[in-house]
Structure 1
């Protein structure tokens, strides 16, 4: 339970206490006051009515704030269904996609792995839906990744998924930017295709 949810629960408890206080009988309160301070001036019925109205009003405000707070809490925390939907949507969007590599990098370069983690996180947030938080998803690369294959543990809230990404040189060949030539001839930008699958649980 996060701090905001705990605060909302505490607010509900306090509201319930206020309602309970409003329901205490007048004779019981007078007897309690007399037992503590027999010389105290007796309270009028109007005072009790005013106190009850105040307690009920405060309890109503407390309940309203709690309802609003639970709504905010839901918008800032991922639940299992939201993350499942978001990860599946991100997987579908990334699977079969393509992208360019560093013009000076070799095929054994692993620099793309950390960059792809950011891309996964962006896709997860984008496919989370209207009620899902717009932040908080993490894609952590595994330690055993290779230049052609990487695994990421995608987490948000209490759930985790393992996303596996396979990078291969594009079947359509590298990209040749028009009008750019190097010392040895035409400059090409390496192009890659990505295959993405996801399973439940961390990698």
Structure 2
């Protein structure tokens, strides 16, 4: 997209240069090529200049919009940093329950998806809503996991650490059952982030 915009800007400059050529010079050049050609009226030069300048303005507008579209389709390092910090803040303290068998309701694969979604949603500005990758580190468990977060267009990389912390106060026993008969155990997520790969 950048090359297309550059070509359009160069074309606009050439069109403006063409519009600046004096009528006398065009007439003498035309006469040297074809001496018997009829004379071109001044009004034709005015119309040609207006058309050339109009097309040049169109090239500049389309080129500028192309650069804007390209900028909006890639992440910058600052956008990614801000989005990762905000995502970690929003995920920190999230409630996390286990099912009847004691298995976590959310596994590390789901953490990966949650991080990618939160970062994309917190991009702000003209950051795209896609292109985020949260790659899990080797040796992750359901209770302690690290994810390297990167994004399309950004050179920076961030490490998000998610730790599952037991939260007895958030345990859930359905109404009508005695506590301990069937209880969903509750955990809270402790989430932090730092710059650099995990």
Shorter-chain TM-score tier: 0.7 to 0.9
User: What is the aligned counterpart of 1:59 among 39, 56, 61?
Assistant: 56
Secondary structure in 1 matching 2:158: strand
Q: Which 4+ runs in 1 deviate beyond 4 A? A: 34-42
With normalisation by structure 2, the TM-score equals: 0.82
**2:84 aligned partner:** 87
Structure 1, gaps ≥5 residues long: none
With normalisation by structure 1, the TM-score equals: 0.80
**1:73 aligned partner:** 70
Q: Tell me how far apart the structure 2 counterparts of residues 32 and 114 of structure 1 sit (CA, whole Å).
A: 72
**2:101 aligned partner:** 104
Q: Tell me how far apart the structure 2 counterparts of residues 198 and 41 of structure 1 sit (CA, whole Å).
A: 76
Structure 2 matches for 1:52-201, cutoff 5 A? Answer: 52-106=49-103, 112-156=107-151, 157-158=153-154, 159-172=156-169, 174-179=171-176, 186-201=181-196
Deviates more, 1:122-131 or 1:38-47: 38-47
Q: Tell me how far apart the structure 2 counterparts of residues 36 and 100 of structure 1 sit (CA, whole Å).
A: 86
Partners of 1:161 and 1:198 within 8 A in 2: yes
Q: Tell me how far apart the structure 1 counterparts of residues 32 and 169 of structure 2 sit (CA, whole Å).
A: 92
Deviations 1:157-179 (A, max 9, x none): 22321111112332436322334
Shift in alpha-carbon separation, 1:43–1:112, aligned structure 2, 3 A: same
Q: Tell me how far apart the structure 2 counterparts of residues 98 and 61 of structure 1 sit (CA, whole Å).
A: 54
Alignment size in residue pairs: 195
Deviations 1:99-125 (A, max 9, x none): 223443536x9x611111111122212
Partners of 1:101 and 1:112 within 8 A in 2: no
User: What is the aligned counterpart of 2:14 among 12, 17, 40?
Assistant: 17
Q: Tell me how far apart the structure 2 counterparts of residues 25 and 102 of structure 1 sit (CA, whole Å).
A: 83
Deviates more, 1:27-36 or 1:76-85: 27-36
Partners of 2:168 and 2:185 within 8 A in 1: no
Deviations 1:44-94 (A, max 9, x none): 322222111101011112222333333333333221221111111111111
Q: Tell me how far apart the structure 1 counterparts of residues 37 and 46 of structure 2 sit (CA, whole Å).
A: 19
Structure 2, gaps ≥5 residues long: none
Secondary structure in 1 matching 2:163: strand
